[in-house]
Amino acid sequence: MQTLKLYFGKDVYFWDMQKLVLIRHGESVWNHENRFTGWTDVDLYADGFEQARQAGQLLKKHDFTFDIAYASVLKRSIKTLHLLLEELDHLWIPVYKSWRLNERFYGALQGLNKQETIDKYGIDLVQKWRRDPNEDPPPISRDDDRYPGRDLRYKHLTEAELPLTENLSQTMNRVLPVWNDKIVPELKNKQKIIICGHGNSLRALIKYLDNLTDEEVTKLEIPTATPLIYELDNELNPVNHYYLH
């Protein structure tokens, strides 16, 4: 269906404006313990399960429906999406899981307590590792247990795609192919899409969508399990975004 524009004086009303829903997973066990997580496949914390259900109820209350859903290959994203879709009675829709939507790979910080890391290295350096889009956290080596090359779910990845660490710019580069090659054609085909991602994979996508500067993105924090609605025009440019509460 064509987007219908109605003009009332100076205001432009878009009827059938396309909506895209982004949502970060519910609180995980390591969010709760304040540990760097990255690609570590930790489960949702008890509160996280409840947050996911509430997000589904909220979307239902606001009459959201979806044709296709996206998750990462990490269980905190997959479970959040599943619980949310269950609330919407939408368990039947196709769910596409991609490693490209995983959290940023946090290198040798994965598993460390954030406060202890600040105490050891200082707030400035840790803040750079966490939020500077071009600062690499310390890398792991390929013989580290945390190297994803030994994990079955990544067996199709090339060595160049298997990270030892990642900054936000690199996360953005590996998120964008799934956005451009899969999600954009589906949105152009008027499919209603929800993406359940992670703090930094969503931060990377939002940086791209909203054309944020490096400075602007350092200040962007995304709450857990809170639907973020993007309204897109016919060219898929964001014209508005807001959290559903």
Ligand X SMILES: O=C(O)[C@@H](CO)OP(=O)(O)O
Interface with ligand X, residue 27, by CB under 6 A: no
Residues 103 and 74 sit within 8 Å (Cβ to Cβ): yes
Residues 112-131 that bind ligand X (CB under 6 A): 130
- Give the one residue of 36, 45, 70, 99 binding ligand X; rule: CB under 6 A: 36
The window from 32-40, 73-81, 83-91, 147-155 that contacts ligand X (CB under 6 A) reads 32-40
Among 21, 23, 26, 31, binds ligand X (CB under 6 A): 31
End-to-end CA separation in angstroms for the chain: 29
Helix (H) or strand (E) holding 6: strand 4-8
Piece of 30-38, 66-74, 117-125, 142-150 that binds ligand X (CB under 6 A): 30-38
List binders of ligand X among 89-108 (CB under 6 A): 103, 106
φ, ψ dihedrals at 76, nearest 5°: -70, -30
> Residue 25 and residue 223: Cα distance in Å, rounded?
9
Taking CB under 6 A as the rule, does residue 37 contact ligand X?
A: yes
Query: Is the CB of 90 or the CB of 203 nearer to ligand X?
Result: 203
Instruction: Count the residues of the shown chain that bind ligand X, applying the rule CB under 6 A.
Output: 9
| 25 in active site | yes
Report the distance separating Cα 48 and Cα 78, nearest Å. 12
What letter would DSSP give residue 146? T
Report angle CA 71, 72, 74 to the nearest 5 degrees.
120
**Opening angle at CA 97, ends 40 and 201, nearest 5:** 55
CA distance 19 to 21: 7
Residue list 141-200, contact with ligand X (CB under 6 A): 199-200
In one-letter notation, the amino acid at residue 183 is I
Tell the smallest beta-carbon distance from residue 50 to ligand X (Å). 18
Q: Is 166 a residue of the active site?
A: no
Annotated active-site positions, please?
25, 103
Enumerate binding residues for ligand X (CB under 6 A): 31, 36-38, 103, 106, 130, 199-200
Binding residues for substrate: 24-31, 37-38, 76, 103-106, 114, 130-131, 199-200
